[in-house]
Amino acid sequence: MNTIRMTDLTPKRKRQKGMQPSAPQSSYKIQFSDIVIFIVERKMGAKRRAFLMDLARRKGFRVDNELSDSVTHIVAENNSNPEILKWLKIHQGVDGSKFRILDITWLIACMETGGPVDWEKYQIIVNGKHSSTPSLHPTDTLAIGRETISQYACQRKTTLKNHNNMFTDAFEILAEYDEFRENEGSCLAFRRAASVLKFLPFAIVRINDIEGLPWIGEHVKGVIEDILEEGESPRVKAVLNNEHYRSFKLFTSVFGVGLKTSEKWYRMGLRTLEEVKGNKNLKLTRMQRAGLLHYEDLISYVSKAEAESASQILKETVWKFSPSALVTLTGGFRRGKRIGHDVDFLITVPGSREEEEVLHLVIDCWKKQGVLLYYDLIESTFDKTKLPSRRVDSLDHFQKCFAIIKLPKEKVYTSILPDSSAEEEEKDWKAIRVDLVVCPFEQYAFALLGWTGSRQFERDLRRYATHEKKMMLDNHALYDKTKKIFLKAASEEEIFAHLGLNYLEPWERNA
């Protein structure tokens, strides 16, 4: 069953306790007059509820807008037993155990068959006692069409539990190859498809399982068919053996090397890092020299424990100068990941403008302590008179520092030379990348939301704001184009509320 979480747009007027009179039935012909359905909006949202109500009415069912004495079936989605009972008590003033409360899969089954189906196995509550949600084949939960699963990642609760790694890994490789070739459209198509499949609560085992899913175009479908039939995708296999892809994959793994530099090196005939280091004609930037110098450390994964150690080092340093500062670990680690390639931090100082100096003080302190191996400080270019960016992938304008620091660790011995007879040098630290971002406190909620990710989640969140709400969102602010005002927010929850979305926890944004 899908787990879409849209906003609960309950009318602002105060509901009266007790039963509400039935709303007039639409002009659709009622074929099953002995059944009266009420659909609970909680965890479903107004848009999806309206879609389901209209669909059921077109199929000949009577669906009331309000809970009334005549209602025979209450339908809910993704609500636990205590949640639905509490909701009915608070918002409707009724004892839910007296009703026939069914899971949304009952309604979907009715839509498939074109008429009522046996309801007993779909009960959420039986005689006041809890009942488990029925187990259905995945296609049963997708049968009502493309509207079942939102096209926007910000309306899909996506955890790290991925049932379709074999497909999403393939899509990520193809997307990366298209990114190297600057084929933006195809790259985005594969990333959107991967995002949808990561959300699914089941493993795809047959081609019919993807019927009705958004963003599954012909190219994507072809890759899925190949994997289902052959166990692998010939297209992915060809990419992995492609010299252009392999070279770009290697070059971009170096800190400070992007697509333009990779293209330049590739055109020069370079294929390995040894060739890069040995080419006397190359003028490497400071960042690239640091990336090559500490390459082995930087390409190894950073563990959650290492990220937390780096967090403690940063906090101790920041709090020397600003005891009230907030230092937050963001990025993939905030979303629940156990490993990453770098560590992102957001810093702000409530009630002051001290944040403008904090980064300079941290850098000076780390220099004296010998912690800093490399840094690139970028000052803020934020202009508060400008509206949020219209681009979904736009960068923010905060003061930030991209750094490589020494992280103390258990004693590790590394050879100076590859020759096994070489003497060994004791190395008690590991070089790791940290990104430090400083923002004004009034923009903290927007910055935290933006720097938490994931990339596809943020892209779709901004796209949703633009296309569905006529708003503009970036890491600095949220602007309502209709009202022509900036909407303030002290937390991520408030931003979701402004957008009319149910709040998703950071670990539910792994799109």
Residues acting as catalytic residues: 342, 344, 435
Residues in the chain, total: 511
H helices of 88-180, where? Answer: 104-113, 165-180
| Residue (of 34, 88, 32, 82) closest to 60 by Cα position | 32
CA distance 281 to 262: 15
Helix 304-321 and helix 355-369, axial crossing angle in degrees, nearest 10: 110
Residue 463, classified by CB atoms within 10 Å of its CB into exposed (0-12), middle (13-18) or buried (19+), is middle
Residue 292: partners with Cβ closer than 8 Å, 6 or more residues away = 254, 273, 276, 277, 284
* Helix residue spans in 26-164 (DSSP H): 46-58, 81-87, 104-113
Is the CB of residue 167 less than 8 Å from the CB of residue 197?
yes
Helices (H) and strands (E) in the chain, counts: 18, 16
- 342 a known binding residue? yes
Strands, E, within 73-134: which ranges? 73-76, 101-103, 123-126, 129-130
The annotation status of 344 as a binding-site residue, yes or no, is: yes
Residue 435, annotated ligand binder?
A: yes
Q: Do 488 and 31 contact (CB within 8 A), yes or no?
A: no
CA dihedral for 458, 460, 462, 465, sign (positive or negative):
negative
- Contact assessment for residue 18 and residue 56, using Cβ atoms and an 8 Å cutoff: no
> What's the CA gap between 451 and 470, in Å, rounded?
23
Binding residues for Mg(2+): 342, 344, 435
As annotated, the binding site includes 342, 344, 435
